[in-house]
Amino acid sequence: MIISMEEKKLLECMYDLQQKHQLGKDVFEYQDLQNSSGLEEQEFELDLHKLIENGFVYILNNGKSVLSAYVILTKKGETWCQENLT
């Protein structure tokens, strides 16, 4: 499997977050920033290409708390990984 530098950076970011917060699955809830009229939450398996192609706010939920952390992933911006513990 050949991955780009962007994918590698994203993988490292997600791995670090998983290790830090002891997350067991690559399951995320996300809010679609492109749809400002109404935010929809969905759960899906981690899809690298989908993450990279779209600019979303991804919220990590480990099941123990409502929001354990969030990570901001943007394609064009400089911020690929940012977390906030609640």
0.85 exceeded by the pTM? no
* 25-83: pLDDT as tens digits: 443 433 333 333 333 333 334 454 455 454 443 444 444 433 333 454 443 444 444 54
The structural domains of the chain, with segments of one domain joined by +, span 5-73
**Structure confidence at residue 40 (pLDDT):** 38
pLDDT value at 11 more than 60 = yes
DSSP sequence for the chain: ----HHHHHHHHHHHHHHHHHT--S-EEEEE-TT--S---EEEEE--HHHHHHS-EEEEE--SSSS-SEEEEE-SSSS-S--B---
